[in-house]
Each structure stands twice: as C-alpha cells, then as structure tokens.
Structure 1
Amino acid sequence: MKRKNNPEKDKKRKQLSGVIKYSGLAFQMIVVILLVLYGGMKLDEYLQKEFPLFTVIGAFLGVILSLYFALKDFMKMK
C-alpha cells in the first residue's frame, strides 16, 4: 500500500529538526567557551599570576571562537 503524505507530520518533523540543529549549535558554543576559559584559568594557576589575565583573555577568546564556529555552521546549514 502507498502511504499518503501527512502535511502536519512533515511540519512537526521540520520543527523538530530545527530544534535539534540549534540546540546542538548552542551546546557547541558552550563547550568552546568553557574549554578556552578553563585553559586560561589553568594557565593563570600555573604562572601564579596575581591578576587573572589569561582567564579574562580566555573568556573573550572563547566567546569569539564560539561565535565564529556557530556562524560558520549556521551558514553551512542554509
């Protein structure tokens, strides 16, 4: 037997697919930020700096890198 296309099911599948893509993108951004921030914290700890310079740099660098990767993936999705 031949199945009929159900437009409501197709719409729900598209919505779910979008949610999965964007939640994965958000998870990737969080992981990148946390990894670079952790690296900066460990570098400050190793160098025994009074001011956490590498932690601050790591925070900014993590955000910039995560935005770069997110935009690159976002452009690839379209």
Structure 2
Amino acid sequence: MTDQEKDDVGKQANNFAKYTGMAFQMLATIGLFTFIGYKIDERQPHNKAIYAALFGFLGVVVSLYWVIRSLTKKRNLNK
C-alpha cells in the first residue's frame, strides 16, 4: 500500500467517524426535545401529544442548525 492510499483510508475513516458522530448527536437532540415535550404533555389535562410534537420538531430544527453550522465552519477552515 502506498502512502497516498494510506492517507485516503485514514481520511475515509475520519469522515466516517465525524458523520456518524453527527448522526448520533442529531438523534440525541431530537430524542431529548421530544422527551421534554412528552413530560410536559403528561402534566397537561388534554389527551393529545401536542408538546411532544412541537418539541420534537424544534429538536429537528436545532439539530439541523448545528449540523449545517458545523459543516460550513469546517468548509471555511479548509479554504
């Protein structure tokens, strides 16, 4: 294996770890926000999971913001 091939394999492994970490961060963020909404819904007198849905959507928005910010920051550093 040449040095170039070793570098390519190392970059692929680094990218895999980075993007897998981002996916788990998104999952945790969405799950946490949804759990908070679920707990609020448990204390309310209505039968619908309104807060769980709203907080779940907010979790999606926040996690996408963090991912986009992270990707654009990395791109600007590489220029």
The TM-score range, normalised by the shorter chain, is 0.7 to 0.9
1:20 maps to 2:17: yes
**2:46 paired with 1:49:** yes
Gaps of 5+ in 2: none
Runs of 4+ in 1 over 4 A off after TM superposition: none
Q: TM-score, normalised by structure 2?
A: 0.86
1:38 alignment partner AA: F
Task: Give TM-score, length-normalised by structure 1.
Answer: 0.87
Amino acid corresponding to residue 54 of structure 1 in structure 2: Y
- Residue 55 of structure 1 aligns with an amino acid whose one-letter code is A
- 1:67, 1:77 → 2: CA distance? 15
Letter of the aligned partner of 2:11 in structure 1?
Answer: K
Alignment of 1:1-78 (within 5 A): 6-78=3-75
Aligned-pair CA distance for 1:62: 1.0
Greater RCO (Cα-Cα under 8 Å, separation 6 or more): 1
Q: CA RMSD in A?
A: 1.2
Residue identity over aligned pairs, in percent, reads 35
Q: Distance in 1 between matches of 2:5 and 2:73?
A: 27
